[in-house]
Amino acid sequence: MVCLLIVVLIMFVLVIIVYTTKINSFLILEAKMKSLMITKYGDVNSSLEEQEVPKPAVKANQILIKTYSSSFNPIDYKIVSGAYKALGKLSFPAGIGRDVSGIVDEVGKNVRKFKTGDKVYSRINESFVGTMAEYVLSNVEDTALMPSNLGFDESASIPLVGLTTYQALVDVAKLSKGESVLIHAGSGGIGTFAIQLAKHLGAKVTTTTSSKNVSFVKGLGADKVIDYTSQNYLDEGAAFDVVYDTLGGDHTLNSFNVLKEGGRVLSIAGTIDSITAEQFGLNKFIRMILAFQARKVTRTASKMNATYRFLYMSPNGEQLKKIAKLYESGKLKPILDKTYKFSESIQALEYLSKGHAKGKVVVKIRE
């Protein structure tokens, strides 16, 4: 009788274990979300697909954001193409997108700064990429409350371009009142923010764009516009205290031809400098190759007693808070070119990859 009872008890326990395991796996199965994923290196059209992936679990100092909007940046299509393989290979499928705006869905146990329901925006840390997903993790220190006067689409257009330009013009170039700045490609995601920020800092702004965008960039505050289809910025002579190089290639070295003696060239698309190589943790051999590639720029800068810096932006919630204040006070305005639905996100990235966006390309993840 006792033996029978023990057998029944063991069976009962086993049934409970199997049942709870099933419930757990069912729950785990439930905790999934839609996310746009990179499936291989290649062109935008054939290398991305929407997949069901596990919803991320929040850790102590993190928040889980229910994504409302996200925006694409050139880094997204460059990564898909494999252009950044040397800096680290992707393991597929990999997430895509770095900008997010949304509502805090869950906070880690140490989080005091944000609470469930807060409207936030962030340029998330690389370890949490991507934001083209229904839920996204962000570190507390990389996140800020959204500008109170803006919606999700407008807010998602800001973090990456805003932080890059704030760090370039304020932190590194220290652009100040009365100085003259040349901003290459004033009509792009970076350029539209840069013109407005440089004007707010009191600088005299010259920018380049094509004929169709001349009046648009003037409307953003540019004092002088050079139509690159019919004019050459090299004709300006040594006119600028600061050049913000957003184009790279020959434009990086050419930027010194229009720089005043002792000026600053700040590039986000040109030759990587030694400070950034160190920031990336690149090995000595790669750093030597980069230094060799940068030799003309370094030599030219030194001859002119000028400064050359390449900047790779960093996520920064405190700076996003300052940037939010600039929008709230009306000093900056969000510039959106096109807004796509989540189901159209591949088309959105394809459009951006043509290189002629007029402001930012946003994806609405949910209504």
Ligand X SMILES: NC(=O)c1ccc[n+]([C@@H]2O[C@H](COP(=O)([O-])OP(=O)(O)OC[C@H]3O[C@@H](n4cnc5c(N)ncnc54)[C@H](OP(=O)(O)O)[C@@H]3O)[C@@H](O)[C@H]2O)c1
Q: Verify binding: residue 164, ligand X, rule CB under 6 A.
A: yes
Q: Verify binding: residue 269, ligand X, rule CB under 6 A.
A: yes
Q: 150: which 2 tokens?
A: 């803006």
Nearer to ligand X (CB atom), residue 90 or residue 269: 269
Cα-Cα-Cα-Cα torsion 182, 185, 186, 192, nearest 10 degrees, comes to -120
What is the C-alpha separation between 135 and 144, in angstroms, rounded? 17
Q: Verify binding: residue 74, ligand X, rule CB under 6 A.
A: yes
Q: Verify binding: residue 191, ligand X, rule CB under 6 A.
A: yes
Q: 15: which 2 tokens?
A: 């049934």
Q: What is the DSSP letter of 147?
A: P
Among 95, 162, 189, 317, binds ligand X (CB under 6 A): 189
Among 358, 362, 363, 365, binds ligand X (CB under 6 A): 358
What is the C-alpha separation between 77 and 97, in angstroms, rounded? 10
Q: Of the ranges 89-97, 170-178, 288-296, 350-358, which one interacts with ligand X (CB under 6 A)?
A: 350-358
Question: Do the beta carbons of residue 95 and residue 35 sit within 8 Å?
Answer: yes
Q: Verify binding: residue 228, ligand X, rule CB under 6 A.
A: yes
Question: Do the beta carbons of residue 146 and residue 159 sit within 8 Å?
Answer: no
Among 202, 219, 249, 355, binds ligand X (CB under 6 A): 355
Which of 117, 174, 165, 114 has its CA nearest to residue 142?
A: 114
What is the C-alpha separation between 120 and 102, in angstroms, rounded? 6
Q: Of the ranges 26-34, 324-332, 342-350, 352-360, which one interacts with ligand X (CB under 6 A)?
A: 352-360
| Shortest Å distance, C-beta 229 to ligand X | 8
Angle at 310 between CA 198 and CA 358, to 5 degrees: 50
Q: 91: which 2 tokens?
A: 């393991």
Nearer to ligand X (CB atom), residue 109 or residue 354: 354
| Shortest Å distance, C-beta 23 to ligand X | 46
- Residues at the contact surface with ligand X, assessed by CB under 6 A: 73-75, 160-161, 164, 184-185, 187-191, 208-210, 213, 228, 246-247, 268-269, 311-313, 352, 355-358
